[in-house]
Chains A and B, each alone.
Chain A
């Protein structure tokens, strides 16, 4: 564990909208518009299916709306709170799922094409291989990779979502990247 002094977290940029939504649920729309893409991305990369991702995204926002009045500003922020709900909904969906996705992560836009067609094909193939490698990671490592790279959460925020320490999340991230490198034969 690091012995560095703990940095004071930045103020939660969502707090104004969260406070408005606590008193007037119609104000929840601003938070919905801000986080729909990211929650959907999280669900999609963990479930590997657009239909399931829509279903779980819907449950997440309905659950968040119904409990927004109970949100307490303890310094943790709204983002980890929302993704914690999404995490629980994804876990429920994975538990109740009778089949495992066999061809996950289709339907994702490839990275922007470059002027060099060969490089563009190589880049698209690399992206495809990377996404499949991510889908093969163990669930806890995949969670960390998706929350970090798709949703842009910090190690501290991911720790709040997954109920782990910041240090444990960093170790999981390190191991996930090592696993991916091994799968892709980069090391």
Chain B
């Protein structure tokens, strides 16, 4: 498929890709066609204007510490995901039922022993 058969949006996207890779806008626009040249030049301006804003170091450190805490904390890990919360709840309930059943069985045995003394 030659350049003329490609849509303007496709040719512009290719030229924008070149601009984002660091190619000068006039060079990048040469293949896109004369009618797209102003838009490719504008893309060069956008690349310069839309610089990533600085992240506050305090925010970066605080969020990093929070992520680290969550990844170490099993409860936080479970709370962060509904599926995990269900599994954690089910396991917790199973442990609770087991402990209660054991306690009932132990107290039953003790009462039985006392009765036969």
A-B complex is real: yes
Chain A interfacial positions (CB closer than 8 Å to B): 2-4, 25-26, 28-29, 32-33, 36-38, 40-41, 44-45, 50, 53-54, 57-58, 61-63, 65-67, 107-109, 111, 123, 126-128, 130-131, 134, 145-146, 148-150, 152, 154-155, 167, 170-171, 173-174, 177-178, 180-181, 184, 186-187
Query: How many of B's residues come within 8 Å of A, CB to CB?
Result: 42
Separation in Å of the A107 CB from the closest CB of chain B? 6
Would you call A181 and B77 a contact (CB within 8 A)? no
Give every chain B residue within 8 A of A134 (Cβ-Cβ): 46, 50
- In the bound assembly, the distance between CA atoms of A2 and B65 in angstroms comes to 46
Give every chain B residue within 8 A of A67 (Cβ-Cβ): 80-81
Would you call A41 and B52 a contact (CB within 8 A)? yes
Would you call B53 and A109 a contact (CB within 8 A)? yes
Chain B interfacial positions (CB closer than 8 Å to A): 1, 6-10, 12-13, 16-17, 20, 38-39, 41-43, 45-56, 59-60, 63-64, 66-68, 70-72, 77, 80-81, 84
Would you call B13 and A66 a contact (CB within 8 A)? no
Would you call A174 and B47 a contact (CB within 8 A)? no
Knowing A174-B12, A180-B42, the reply to whether A3 touches B1 (Cβ < 8 A) is yes
Separation in Å of the B8 CB from the closest CB of chain A? 6
- In the bound assembly, the distance between CA atoms of A131 and B59 in angstroms comes to 24
Give every chain A residue within 8 A of B43 (Cβ-Cβ): 149, 177
Known: A66-B77, A109-B53, A145-B46. 5 other contacts (CB 8 A): A4-B1, A29-B68, A67-B80, A154-B17, A177-B43
Give every chain A residue within 8 A of B8 (Cβ-Cβ): 174
Contact for A149 among B7, B46, B70, B84, CB less than 8 A: B46
Knowing A32-B64, A155-B13, the reply to whether A65 touches B71 (Cβ < 8 A) is yes
Knowing A67-B81, A154-B17, A177-B12, the reply to whether A26 touches B52 (Cβ < 8 A) is no
Knowing A26-B72, A29-B67, A36-B55, the reply to whether A127 touches B20 (Cβ < 8 A) is no
Give every chain A residue within 8 A of B17 (Cβ-Cβ): 154
Would you call B42 and A184 a contact (CB within 8 A)? yes
Would you call A108 and B10 a contact (CB within 8 A)? no
Would you call B13 and A65 a contact (CB within 8 A)? no
Would you call A62 and B66 a contact (CB within 8 A)? yes
Chain A residue, CB-CB nearest to B64: A32
Knowing A57-B63, A127-B48, the reply to whether A2 touches B1 (Cβ < 8 A) is yes
Knowing A66-B81, A149-B46, A187-B38, the reply to whether A109 touches B67 (Cβ < 8 A) is no
- In the bound assembly, the distance between CA atoms of A57 and B64 in angstroms comes to 12
Contact for B66 among A58, A66, A128, A180, CB less than 8 A: A58
- In the bound assembly, the distance between CA atoms of A29 and B20 in angstroms comes to 27
